[in-house]
Amino acid sequence: MVPMSPRVDVAIIGAGLSGTLTAIQLAHQAPALGVALVERSGQAGMGLAYSTRDASHLLNVRADRMSAFPDEPDGFVRWLDAQAPDTVCRVETDAGVFVSRQAYGRYLREMLASAEAASDGRLRLYDDDVTSIERGPEGFSLTLGGRALQARAVVLAMGNLAAPFALPDGKVAVNPWAMGAFDDLDPDAPVAIIGTGLTMIDVLTSLRRRGHRGRVTAISRRGLRPHAHAPLSALPAADMTGALGGPLSARLHRLRSAARAYGWREVVDALRPETQGLWQTLSAQEKQRFLRHARPWWDIHRHRIAAPAAAMIEAEIAAGRLDVLAGRIKAAEVGALSVTLRGGGETIVPAIRVFDATGFGSLAQSGDRLVTHLLRSGLVLSDAAGLGLSADTHLQARGGEGPVPGLYAIGPMVRGEYWECTAVPDIRVQAESLGRHLAGTLDPVKRDQSRAT
């Protein structure tokens, strides 16, 4: 633990991907600023996704798209090439190279350590928990472990704050990322997983690597599973000219037509640069309609998985070791769940342990102490969709009285405003932009240079 500085220029809360990239960008763009990077888990540079202890958990994006820096698109690949082969789990597929999330976490930590070493003490890491933020005449006062830290600006970068899934009997499903989540489990015991998306695949992978042989049942309202990345090809890029105008129903019709002409993967990839703008053109009502009716299908097409993970799931289903059900949990008893099936009827699912793989919900449901404090104080507001915080185009948070000067949010914290801001290619652009904005706002030299141009 480093000595507490009484005042810094920027305090970044959360040292997962969003916070780490913001800190690195500030160190590069405004090296004169004092930056505090605060992480309560004690694992700076990793976050939930890259702190996994299972080397078989692969990235869902090809390695050549995972650089931490927009202006160095081959940065991660060059880092990989410099590693000893036996220190990195990398899988060659016809869809590209996929690397373990453990390895990517190590890459981020090394990038952060390099920025910290070059900062001459201006970038400091704090293993602590921020419990409150109060706005004052000269910035913000943060409470960390009973001590106060003053900051001219604050960046909220807490990542995905999942809401715990409560079973009908009042018990909470097991968080698969918690320490001991897989301990003391009979290897032949039946298990249930609530959710059938990316986290379900991680849970099943971890179970099997630990020698679990029992039957696994994955349950979600629609029973949809992520699609796999297709082999790399020389197919022409989808032409999406004119596809983004008009009502939501008309847009979906044009997207389906384009998918038939080009292939749905090519269409989804072609939409990638336009998704944020498309989302922001929707009314609050249209966003809610999308979340209720279309989001599950968007997720399985947009957030694809590596071929080895897809093959593992198919093999498990074919062997009768994995069932995927579409339905809702009606009741929970000791060792079993009662499920109402989507197509009608009910079934009993034996389950000695129930894992939560539902992912993120609304921000207010997360129960995060700091978020609860900020919402209740009116310093921040939820976005119109209820997914994250309201923010403007500079990622400045909005409160009860409008934009809050000096208070920012990034990454999944603003997914309700930007939607496509939870993956590395999107967050690195946000971090670079926010770093440039803060440098121009807080660094006198940068501010003067900006005015001169």
Q: Could you report the per-residue pLDDT of 406-442, keeping only the tens digit for each?
A: 999 999 999 999 998 888 999 999 999 999 999 999 9
Predicted pLDDT at 326? 97
Q: Could you report the per-residue pLDDT of 371-386, keeping only the tens digit for each?
A: 999 999 999 999 988 8
User: For the chain, first and last CA: distance in Å?
Assistant: 41
Query: From CA 421, how far away is CA 439, in angstroms rounded?
Result: 22
**Concatenated DSSP letters of 79-94:** HHHTS-GGGS-EEEET
Predicted pLDDT at 243? 65
Provide the H-helix boundaries in 211-274: 248-262, 264-271
**Concatenated DSSP letters of 6-39:** SEEEEEEE--SHHHHHHHHHHHHH-TTS-EEEE-
pLDDT > 90? residue 170: no
- DSSP 8-state symbol, 420: S
Query: From CA 87, how far away is CA 75, in angstroms rounded?
Result: 18
Burial tier of 289 (Cβ tally within 10 Å: 0-12, 13-18, 19+): middle
Maximum alpha-carbon separation in the chain? 70
Predicted pLDDT at 447? 53
Q: What is the mean pLDDT of residues 325-336?
A: 95
At 241, is the pLDDT very low, low, confident or very high (cuts 50, 70, 90)? low
Q: Could you report the per-residue pLDDT of 285-322, keeping only the tens digit for each?
A: 888 888 888 899 999 999 999 989 999 999 999 999 99
pLDDT > 90? residue 248: no
Query: From CA 84, how far away is CA 65, in angstroms rounded?
Result: 21
Extract the runs of DSSP E, i.e. beta strands, from 137-221: 139-144, 147-156, 191-194, 216-220
Query: From CA 316, how far away is CA 314, in angstroms rounded?
Result: 5
**Concatenated DSSP letters of 87-113:** GS-EEEETTEEEEBHHHHHHHHHHHHH
Predicted pLDDT at 445? 59
Q: What is the mean pLDDT of residues 89-108?
A: 90
Predicted pLDDT at 365? 78
pLDDT > 50? residue 1: no
Residue 119, phi-psi category: left (phi > 0), alpha (psi -120 to 50), beta (remainder): alpha
